[in-house]
């Protein structure tokens, strides 16, 4: 655990130096002159120089920080590589036909975009981990005709709220455990977080509709917004009172049920559009005479298998606990200390890959089981592996440097004490008005690390301590921390990179960030207003 002296020990100059690498990274990304690997490499160099020169980070601190970042990159790549494999396999079988069937789930284009960018990824986040919803839903949006940049940006905004209670509550519990909350405080934290995220369920749906179709998008999408939004917010609020780990899962399920109800009503009223005219897709030659409906169902198999496997493993508490505590793979890192007094404890089995509970394992199983199903059903021909292997490996290798370098930036910033300095400086400057800053601290952590769980690990204890110092409820500031971190996820270059890779590098991180930054500011404003209301209510 990091220690950086008492609150108020950060000067303005130190704070400005601490934020320099973040500003450099953001500036390079928005400038768009270089590719993501170059931007990340330049930022790593800047971070290392500032850490050594201004924060007393010696070679050991830098080496351990870079090593941790490298391992986090491996953790992320174990999501990206299997997700790309699953996508390429489905693409060969009939992704175009699947997309055409998804275009017709509901009668209006915006309604189907809301399904794929708001409801479905939120459900997937409930059972899966880092980046999986983007890796799955961005290609689906691209396939139904959404341009590549929007195909990545829309789900980043749409599902962000589900991260707080997603991955079976990992981010929430990281915040509760790091802040050492009592059982009662944990319940208060869950209730406050459900309020903040419930509001952003509704706001994010409206933003997705506006981003896709403007005011016309709102007119087209209002039935989905009016039914699925309140259903997801209410289901989440009720579920977390019993078990926070299933909050996002229950919310996403409620959203899917709402969509199913709308589809049933549309059929009864005769408003669902007819099935599309059969056309040849990438997998059309796999089986002679196979209809588009057959190919669409075949292409959907990996996504169905993924949901079934993840639910079967994560919903039973005993099994969930077992897979998260067995067959763990992770390196050990020693304790380090900077000359400025920032100490990082030793980290045995750092950020482990739970081989039986990692999203990458679920994706890999889904891909392999799908091949078995396709063989059994006769929709797989000899030679398909070779056709899939080359583009899959090429795309996977191309993604690796960006992910590893961006994760390395986070490792250096964290272990040198620069991230904590940013937060402490903000807390000291704000004083009694700190609740205004709390969501931005959370967003900063996830922007840097690409993870709400990591942001909570960094700042939950700080939010708790500041709350006690200024006389506010820790639960409210912790909820603001998590909700803000969720928004930061939609801006994190490492998360955006995953989406860019998933759509075949047909867009850039810079282009996506420019599309998400203003919706993210709206979402942060929403979190801020709701946080102030909660804090005022409990003062």
Q: What count of Cα atoms within 13 Å lies in the side-chain half-sphere of residue 163?
A: 36
Query: From CA 447, how far away is CA 491, in angstroms rounded?
Result: 6
Number of separate domains in the chain = 1
**Residue 471, Ramachandran bin (φ over 0: left; ψ between -120 and 50: alpha; else beta):** left
pLDDT for 259:
92
pLDDT for 282:
40
Answer yes or no: is 235 within a domain.
yes
Check pLDDT > 90 for residue 81: no
Answer yes or no: is 134 within a domain.
yes
Answer yes or no: is 430 within a domain.
yes
Question: Highest-confidence range of 1-10, 242-251, 273-282, 507-516, by mean pLDDT?
Answer: 507-516
The alpha carbon of 306 is separated from its chain's Cα centroid by a whole number of angstroms, namely 17
Q: Are 362 and 356 in contact (CB under 8 A)?
A: no
Check pLDDT > 50 for residue 474: yes
Check pLDDT > 60 for residue 295: yes
Check pLDDT > 80 for residue 286: no
Q: What SS3 state is found at 295?
A: helix
pLDDT for 268:
59
| Angle, CA of 146, 149 and 153, to the nearest 5° | 95
C-alpha pair distances (Å), 147 with each of 140, 144, 153: 11, 9, 10
Domain that holds residue 512: 12-538
Q: Which helix (H) or strand (E) holds 239?
A: helix 183-242
Residues 6+ apart with CB under 8 A from 224: 106, 111, 114, 115, 118, 119, 205, 258, 259, 262
Residue that wins the pLDDT comparison between 255 and 8: 255
Q: Are 453 and 131 in contact (CB under 8 A)?
A: no
Q: Write the pLDDT tens digit of every residue in 39-56.
A: 889 989 999 999 999 999
Answer yes or no: is 128 within a domain.
yes
Check pLDDT > 90 for residue 303: no
Answer yes or no: is 1 within a domain.
no
Question: Highest-confidence range of 8-12, 18-22, 283-287, 404-408, by mean pLDDT?
Answer: 18-22
Check pLDDT > 50 for residue 224: yes
Residues 6+ apart with CB under 8 A from 476: 192, 435, 467, 531, 534, 535, 538
Answer yes or no: is 176 within a domain.
yes
Tell if the pTM clears 0.85, that is, is over it: no
Answer yes or no: is 5 within a domain.
no
Residue 190: closest CA among 247, 230, 233: 247
- How much of the chain exceeds pLDDT 90, in percent? 34
The pLDDT of 172-189, averaged and rounded, is 83
Answer yes or no: is 136 within a domain.
yes
Q: Write the pLDDT tens digit of every residue in 145-156.
A: 899 999 999 999
Check pLDDT > 80 for residue 169: no
* DSSP output for 40-60: HHHHHHHHHHHHHHHS---HH
Quick one: pLDDT band at residue 9, thresholds 50, 70, 90?
low
Q: 6-29 as b/e, with b when 16 or more CB fall inside 10 Å?
A: eeeebeeebbebbbbbbebbbebb
The pLDDT of 192-212, averaged and rounded, is 96
Quick one: pLDDT band at residue 103, thresholds 50, 70, 90?
low
pLDDT for 105:
81
Quick one: pLDDT band at residue 324, thresholds 50, 70, 90?
confident
Check pLDDT > 70 for residue 504: yes
Q: Write the pLDDT tens digit of every residue in 400-445.
A: 887 788 778 878 888 898 877 877 787 777 778 889 989 998 998 8
Read off φ and ψ for residue 33, nearest 5 degrees. Answer: -75, -35
Kindly report the average pLDDT of the chain as a whole number.
83
Query: From CA 374, how far away is CA 444, in angstroms rounded?
Result: 44
Query: From CA 128, how far away is CA 115, in angstroms rounded?
Result: 18
Check pLDDT > 60 for residue 529: yes
The pLDDT of 2-11, averaged and rounded, is 52
pLDDT for 304:
81
Quick one: pLDDT band at residue 470, thresholds 50, 70, 90?
confident
């Amino acid at each position: 655990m990091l220690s950086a002296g008492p609150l108020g020990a950060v000067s303005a100059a130190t704070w400005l130096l601490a934020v320099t690498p973040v500003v450099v990274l953001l500036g390079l990304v928005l400038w768009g002159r270089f590719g993501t690997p170059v931007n990340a490499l330049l930022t790593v160099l800047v971070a290392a120089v500032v850490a050594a020169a201004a924060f007393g980070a010696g070679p050991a601190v830098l080496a351990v920080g870079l090593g941790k970042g490298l391992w986090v990159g491996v953790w992320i790549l174990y999501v990206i590589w299997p997700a790309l494999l699953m996508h390429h396999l489905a693409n060969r079988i009939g992704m175009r036909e699947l997309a055409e069937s998804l275009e017709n789930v509901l009668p209006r284009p915006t309604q189907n975009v809301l399904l794929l960018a708001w409801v479905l990824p939120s459900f997937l986040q409930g059972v899966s981990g880092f980046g999986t919803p983007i890796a799955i839903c961005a290609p689906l949006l691209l396939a139904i005709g959404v341009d590549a940049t929007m195909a990545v940006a829309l789900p980043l905004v749409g599902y962000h709220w589900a991260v707080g209670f997603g991955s079976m509550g990992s981010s929430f519990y990281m915040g509760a455990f790091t802040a050492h909350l009592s059982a009662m405080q944990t319940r208060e934290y869950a209730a406050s977080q459900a309020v903040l995220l419930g509001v952003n369920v509704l706001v994010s749906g409206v933003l997705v509709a506006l981003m896709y179709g403007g005011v016309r998008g709102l007119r087209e999408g209002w039935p989905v917004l009016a039914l699925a939004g309140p259903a997801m917010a209410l289901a989440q609020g009720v579920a977390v009172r019993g078990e926070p780990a299933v909050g996002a899962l229950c919310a996403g399920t409620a959203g899917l049920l709402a969509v199913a109800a709308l589809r049933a009503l549309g059929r009864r009223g005769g408003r669902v559009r007819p099935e599309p005219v059969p056309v040849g897709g990438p997998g059309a030659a796999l089986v002679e005479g196979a209809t588009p409906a057959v190919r669409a169902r075949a292409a959907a198999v990996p996504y169905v298998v993924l949901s079934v496997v993840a639910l079967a493993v994560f919903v039973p508490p005993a099994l969930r606990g077992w897979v998260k505590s067995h067959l763990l793979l992770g390196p050990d890192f020693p304790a380090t200390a900077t000359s400025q007094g920032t100490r990082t404890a030793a980290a045995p089995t750092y950020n482990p890959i739970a081989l039986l509970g990692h999203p990458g394992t679920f994706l890999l199983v889904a891909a392999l089981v799908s091949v078995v199903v396709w063989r059994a059903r006769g929709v797989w021909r000899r030679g398909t592996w070779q056709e899939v292997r080359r583009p899959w490996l090429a795309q996977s290798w191309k993604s690796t440097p960006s992910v590893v370098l961006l994760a390395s930036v986070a490792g250096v910033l964290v272990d040198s004490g620069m991230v904590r300095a940013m937060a402490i400086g903000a807390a000291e400057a704000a004083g009694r008005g700190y609740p205004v800053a709390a969501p931005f601290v959370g967003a900063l952590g996830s922007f840097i690390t690409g993870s709400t769980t990591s942001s909570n690990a960094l700042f939950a204890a700080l939010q708790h301590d500041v709350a006690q110092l200024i006389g506010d409820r820790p639960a409210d500031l912790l909820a603001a921390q998590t909700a803000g971190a969720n928004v930061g996820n939609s801006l994190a270059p490492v998360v955006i990179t995953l989406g860019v890779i998933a759509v075949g590098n047909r867009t850039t991180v810079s282009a996506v960030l420019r599309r998400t930054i203003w919706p993210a500011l709206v979402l942060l404003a929403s979190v801020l207003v709701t946080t102030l209301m909660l804090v005022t209510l409990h003062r």
